Amino acid sequence: MRLVKVMAVALTVFSFSYGETVKQLIDYALKNSPIIKSKIYEMKQSEGEIKSAEALPNPEAYVQFGRLYSQSESGFNLTEFSVHQPLKLWGTRKNAVEEALLKKEAAQLKLQFYKNQVAGQVYQLFYQTLFAKEVLSIRKENYNLSLSLHNLVKKSYRLGEETKLNLLRSEKELMLSYLEFKQAENMYQSKLRELSSIVGKEIKDVEGNISDIHSLHQIQLENLPEIKYLSKISASIDKAIELQKGLSKPQIGIEFTAGEDAAELGKYEFGIGITASVPVFYRNQGEIIKLINQKKSVLSEKKQKELFYRSKIKNIKSRYSLLKSQIDELDRQILPSISQALKLAEKSYKMRAITLFELSDIKKQYFETLMYRATLLKDVHNTIGEYIKIGGMR
């Protein structure tokens, strides 16, 4: 069969390709992901807020000029000059700087949260792609076995030891196995394109063992980036409240003034003074009430997130344990048993101890078991990916 020969060449070329590992792809995505870059720039914005909080207010200058006209002379004179320097008192500068620093730390934690999301997403899609590659390998094995059986049946038919019905049955199974292989090949290429779009570069092949199951590291709820982020936001609101309280007090400034003497033109008087704003009752109360309720909202959200993650971590661990135990059971008992049964069935068919139909049934059970195992492995890796989204890679 011409198609069979072409396929054999294609499979040989495929086996010599080199693929990307999950670690390589996660590292690349974390460095080049647009969402990660946007969060890095967002974090850098807080550096400007720190600079603004550390800086003293700019001095304010006032200059007035006048022109003298009389019968004997005229001139252009400086009539008044003053410089006013506001001061940051009542802890306003300290609280503003601490608020900005806490916002920067919160932005860093938010960045880590998104890094975990990207890492988990790439991990999941990588193993979905590796699953597609595993399916391709299973379909290849099925095709090779179907081809071998078809050649055996065809040889037996020519010798008059096999029926025309069994020859047609073997041809049908061979064609179906070929179609399944082509579908698996298409699915693998589709997953590679999907993975490429997420990572941000073209990926032609992936490399790894889908049977390698990573253990789940311990996650401390209070150390989760999103929980710590909300804690930092709450702390920054505390500083914002203290800042507003400081701003509600009289704002002090130092002023230097120089003015032309009204009686003796051309002569100037100099003075240094202290200015203070007159406090207004309930000044900044609206801002403080707003911040207090904002903090309550953040604390409520933090509590909800803690409940959510506690439940999700528990569910992930439970599902992980169940899937892993099912895979272990398959590898320890079921798969070796069905594999041995297939080998025995092949020998028995050659000795005419069983029919082709019985052999085909055992072969079908064997490949269904392989597919079920591959699906369980895909599910367990998808579960690990969800865990990575919460606690990151270890």
386 contact partners, CB below 8 Å, separation of at least 6 = 120, 124, 312, 316
- The amino acid sitting at 210 is I
226 contact partners, CB below 8 Å, separation of at least 6 = 109, 113, 305, 309
Most distant CA atoms of the chain, gap in Å: 142
* 162 phi/psi in degrees, rounded to 5: -135, 155
CA distances from 132 to 87, 98, 171, 175 (A): 67, 51, 26, 21
Query: Token match 């079920």: residue?
Result: 372
Nearest to 26 by CA among 93, 108, 113, 125: 125
Q: What is the pLDDT of residue 11?
A: 42
Check if the beta carbon of residue 83 is closer than 8 Å to that of residue 133: no
Q: How far apart are CA 253 and CA 248, in angstroms?
A: 15
Q: How far apart are the first and last CA of the chain?
A: 50
Please report, in tens digits, the pLDDT of each residue of the chain (394 residues total): 333 443 443 443 344 445 789 999 999 999 988 888 888 888 888 777 777 776 777 677 767 666 554 445 555 555 676 777 677 767 778 888 888 899 989 999 999 999 999 999 999 999 999 999 999 999 999 999 999 999 999 998 898 888 899 999 999 999 999 999 999 999 999 999 999 999 989 999 999 999 999 999 999 999 999 999 999 999 999 999 988 888 777 776 777 776 666 556 556 676 776 766 666 545 678 888 899 999 999 999 999 999 999 999 999 999 999 999 999 999 999 999 999 999 999 999 888 898 889 999 999 999 999 999 999 999 999 999 999 999 998 8
Which run of H or E residues covers position 289? Answer: helix 285-329
Per the structure block, which two tokens stand in for 353? 């101890």
Check if the beta carbon of residue 273 is closer than 8 Å to that of residue 223: no
Q: How far apart are CA 152 and CA 155, in angstroms?
A: 5
Check if the beta carbon of residue 134 is closer than 8 Å to that of residue 59: no
Q: How far apart are CA 30 and CA 226, in angstroms?
A: 18
CA distances from 152 to 8, 139, 174, 252, 349 (A): 18, 20, 12, 101, 10
Q: Is the dihedral of CA 285, 286, 291, 293 positive or negative?
A: positive
Angle between helices 356-391 and 164-199 (to 10 degrees): 10
Q: How far apart are CA 105 and CA 112, in angstroms?
A: 11
Check if the beta carbon of residue 103 is closer than 8 Å to that of residue 236: yes
Q: Characterize the bridge pairing of strands 252-260 and 60-69.
A: unpaired
Q: How far apart are CA 286 and CA 269, in angstroms?
A: 43
Q: How far apart are CA 219 and CA 192, in angstroms?
A: 31
Q: How far apart are CA 109 and CA 106, in angstroms?
A: 5
Provide the 3-class DSSP secondary structure of residue 70: coil
Q: For 73-210, where are the alpha helices, taking DSSP H only?
A: 92-158, 164-199
Per the structure block, which two tokens stand in for 90? 């009542």
Check if the beta carbon of residue 29 is closer than 8 Å to that of residue 200: yes
Q: How far apart are CA 382 and CA 359, in angstroms?
A: 35
Q: What is the pLDDT of residue 266?
A: 58
Q: In the sheet where 74-86 sits, what is the strand order?
A: 60-69, 74-86, 252-260, 268-276
Q: How far apart are CA 191 and CA 19, in angstroms?
A: 14
